[in-house]
Chain A
């Protein structure tokens, strides 16, 4: 119960070649000041642990506070239904899954239950797969709640725990049994969505009450009690992707056709970014590229919104970003890196704002795959429900 710190006494940090902080076996031998020793390479970012170190659990000392909630907008009837379901799950201490389509207002639906948990004197954790998404959570939570929101991600306050904590998964490795309610946002985007060992590492931060929120749950997550929400909060249908045979002319033509709208094109890999960037430059269109290595991602997002430009992105932008009235295309959609889930999320970038509820989504293909068909079928299914 608390935060693990490196101390003089306590439990050995590395036992049997396994790091006791992150459960990794990526443990390497080196010459320590007393002789042969080993350290964990997997959690170096938390400060190195060596076999001659000991881990101790320190209690969390930040005070318990109560909060007031001001909803940013009135919840729609559908959203209220989901919010009430979350409250019943919390009262029964049950883990659940919210299966809501992209752009359904998933963030706001959780505010009532967060308020209830905090006012009961318990701590809430929101885990997000990426820093960008975490920052957006912090912004929205700070507008709604009076209690200070702690952001535990790279560049934020890395080692603090508040009543409401927003964190990325790696920085939670040294926390044990602190949070009474853990919301896992975009729960299928985590590496542990498919790896039970990694899931166990993240399970240790909470006290067994979880809430998974996603538009595209994995099979394993579907075993939890589920609440569905298949309407966006503005009530319009999800845009259904169209399949178009890929050629450079067609991509250029797509960009020309929507010249007055921001256009977002997804490509599978980083070398592809350069290649298609050059193709469009040759056609006389200016565009920017965004990948995991791009530092100024939020800057590019603003640029896309303001100048109605063209942005090539890797799957780094497939979740958690909103651009008003955007047109989406997926280039080389048959690539093996584009899963069904990824394609659904990318299609869900379009038409997220109530004043621009529609948008065109285009899957360019060189080959047809089952994944494309399945993505389109799932989107149509959600529209029918």
Chain B
């Protein structure tokens, strides 16, 4: 069997899963992504004490309470992984993080991927958040997004003071909703989406995110 990520040949452990599982990841590739340790309980920003970080206190002061579960640190390996997934378009490598995502699955929850705008969807061809959400569990696309410029060049303040691009076209009838996104940088996207969902009548909203951008990183200051 070849590793999904590095295409090196690897030996597959003999389990009943060997018969039906198609994509295997070798241990070397599996250990490349660094899971987040102790950190802020709301956003996963790593710190030693596990207290709420100042950014989250600002969100709380605005009256937006959203717990985001992040899985991996957005370090160099994470950037490589996400670049390959999102921009090179190698969609199946999502199954290398699927077990970790699926571990967070709970029953009676609807997973809502953060949408792309129509134009972006046309060029990228797929919604990366939707691919991740489908790895976890039952998915419904409740949100819609109008076109805004890419956030990549915006700074921290520019990102925070965006108008809310998300709208909810239908009424929300599901009880618990978990938003799914790929990277948590400042949290504006997720908080805006949660705000829209709550206004449309969702009772309980939380979020899960694959990567947490580290504010202290020198490579990509936020």
Please state if B88 and A32 are interface contacts (CB–CB under 8 Å).
Answer: no
Pairwise interchain contact B122-A33, C-beta atoms closer than 8 A: yes
Q: Point out which of B89, B127, B131 has the most chain A C-beta atoms below 10 A from its C-beta.
A: B89
Q: Which residue of A lies closest to B122 (CB)?
A: A33
- Pair B126/A41 contact, Cβ less than 8 Å: no
**Could you tell me the distance in whole angstroms from the C-beta of A295 to the nearest C-beta in chain B?**
15
Q: A32 contacts B92, CB within 8 Å? A: no
Per the CB 8 Å criterion, the residue count for chain B at the interface is 13
Q: Chain A residues near B121 (CB, 8 Å)?
A: 33
B92 touches A31 (CB 8 A): no
Q: Which residues of B contact A37 (CB under 8 A)?
A: 125
Task: Give every chain B residue within 8 A of A33 (Cβ-Cβ).
Answer: 121-122, 125-127
Question: Once the chains are docked, how many angstroms separate the CA of A48 from the CA of B91?
Answer: 10
Residues of B within 8 A of A39 (CB): 89, 91
Q: Which of A28, A31, A50, A52 contacts B130 (CB 8 A)?
A: A31
**Which residues of the other chain, B, contact A41 by a CB distance below 8 angstroms?**
90, 92
Decide if A32 touches B126 in the complex (CB within 8 Å).
yes
Q: What is the total number of residues of chain A having a CB less than 8 Å from a CB of chain B?
A: 12
A28: chain B residues within 8 A (beta carbon): 91-92
Majority DSSP secondary structure for residues of A touching B: strand
Interface presence of B159 (CB below 8 A): no
In whole angstroms, how far apart are the Cα atoms of A130 and B149 in the complex? 41
Which A19-55 residues have a C-beta within 8 angstroms of B? 28, 30-33, 37, 39, 41, 44, 48, 50, 52
Partner of B89 from the list A31, A48, A52 (CB cut-off 8 Å) is A48
Which residues A156-205 have CB closer than 8 A to chain B? none
Asked if residues B126 and A31 are in contact (CB atoms below 8 Å), the reply is: yes
A271-294 contacts to B (CB < 8 Å): none
One digit per residue, 1 when the CB lies within 8 angstroms of any chain A CB and 0 when it does not, for chain B 99-139 equals 00000000000000000000001100111001100100000
Q: Within the assembled complex, what's the spacing in Å between the Cα atoms of A78 and B24?
A: 54
CB distance from B104 to the nearest CB of A (A): 21
- CB A171 to nearest CB in B, in angstroms, measures 16
A48 B88 Cβ-Cβ under 8 A? yes
Per the bound structure, the CA–CA distance linking A32 and B122 in Å amounts to 9
Contact A30 B92 (CB under 8 A): yes
> Can you name the residue of chain A whose Cβ is closest to the Cβ of B92?
A28
Chain A contacts of B89 at CB under 8 A? 39, 44, 48
Residue of A33, A37, A50 with most chain B CB atoms under a 10 A cut-off:
A33
Q: How far is the CA of A50 from the CA of B91 in the complex (A)?
A: 11
Contact, CB under 8 Å: A30 / B88: no
CB distance from A21 to the nearest CB of B (A): 14
- In the complex, which residues of chain A have a beta carbon less than 8 angstroms from the beta carbon of B134? 31
Residues of A within 8 A of B92 (CB): 28, 30, 41
Residues of A within 8 A of B126 (CB): 30-33
Cα distance, A39 to B124, chains bound together (Å): 13
Could you say which residues of chain A place their CB within 8 Å of the CB of B130? 31
Per-position contact with A for B72-93: 1 when CB-CB < 8 Å, else 0? 0000000000000000111110
Contacts of B91 in A (CB 8 A): 28, 30-31, 39
Q: Which residues of A contact B125 (CB under 8 A)?
A: 32-33, 37, 48, 50, 52
**What 1/0 flags go to B190-212 for Cβ under 8 Å of A?**
00000000000000000000000
Q: How far is the CA of A39 from the CA of B134 in the complex (A)?
A: 18
Cβ distance A27 to chain B, nearest Cβ, rounded Å: 10
B164 CB → nearest A CB, Å: 23
Residue of B nearest to A48 (CB): B89
The docked-state distance in angstroms from the alpha carbon of A50 to that of B88 is: 12
Residue of chain A at shortest CB distance from B4: A41
B66–chain A nearest beta-carbon distance, Å? 26
- Would B88 and A44 count as touching, CB distance under 8 A? yes
The interface residues of chain A lying within 8 Å CB-to-CB of B90 are 41, 44, 48
B180 to chain A, nearest CB (A): 14
Which of B125, B131, B134 has the most C-beta atoms of chain A within 10 angstroms of its own C-beta? B125
Nearest to A52 among chain B residues (CB) is B125
CB distance from A88 to the nearest CB of B (A): 43
Interface string of A69-98 (1 = CB under 8 A from B): 000000000000000000000000000000
B82 to chain A, nearest CB (A): 15
The answer for the CA separation of A39 and B131 in the assembled complex, in Å, is 14
Q: How far is the CA of A41 from the CA of B134 in the complex (A)?
A: 20
In the bound complex, how far is the Cα of B124 from the Cα of A37, in angstroms? 13
Q: What's the least CB distance linking B5 to chain A, in Å?
A: 11
With CB as the reference atom, state the residue of chain A lying closest to B130: A31
- Taking the nearest CB of chain A, how far is it from the CB of B89, in angstroms? 4
The smallest beta-carbon distance between A8 and chain B, in angstroms, is 12
When chains A and B are docked, how far (Å) is the Cα of A44 from the Cα of B89? 8
Taking A41-B90, A48-B125 as known contacts, 19 extra A-B pairs with beta carbons closer than 8 A to each other, sorted by chain A number, are A28-B91, A30-B92, A30-B131, A31-B126, A31-B127, A31-B130, A31-B134, A32-B125, A32-B126, A33-B121, A33-B122, A33-B126, A37-B125, A39-B91, A41-B92, A44-B88, A44-B89, A48-B88, A52-B125
Chain B interfacial positions (CB closer than 8 Å to A): 88-92, 121-122, 125-127, 130-131, 134
The 5 closest A-B pairs by CB, nearest first: A30-B91, A48-B89, A33-B121, A28-B92, A32-B125
Q: List 6 A-B contacts (CB under 8 A).
A: A28-B91, A33-B125, A41-B90, A48-B88, A48-B125, A50-B125
